[in-house]
Amino acid sequence: MHELSIVSSVVETVEESLANYPGARVVEVRLKVGALASVVVDSLEFCWGIAIEGTALAGSRLVVVTLPVVMHCAHCDADVELDGVQSFRCPRCGEICLDLRQGRELDIESYEIEEADRSEEIGVKG
**Continuous H helices in 19-68:** 41-52
Closest Cα to residue 1, out of 46, 56, 55?
46
- Please identify which residue in 78, 110, 121, 123 interacts with other proteins, judged by CB under 8 A: 110
The total number of residues written for the chain in this structure: 126
The answer to whether residue 6 forms part of the interface with other proteins (CB under 8 A) is yes
Q: Which of 54, 86, 122, 125 binds other proteins (CB under 8 A)?
A: 86
C-alpha span between 87 and 3 (Å, rounded): 25
Whether the Cβ atoms of residue 113 and residue 30 lie closer than 8 Å to each other: no
* Residue among 53 and 99 whose Cβ is closer to other proteins: 99
Instruction: Compute the distance between CA of residue 2 and CA of residue 70 in angstroms, rounded to an integer.
Output: 25
- Out of 27, 58, 74, 78, point to the residue binding other proteins (CB under 8 A): 27
Q: Residue 56 interacts with other proteins (CB under 8 A)?
A: no
Chain residues that interact with other proteins, rule: CB under 8 A: 1-2, 5-6, 9-10, 13-14, 17, 21, 24, 27, 31, 36-39, 85-89, 96-98, 100, 104, 106-117
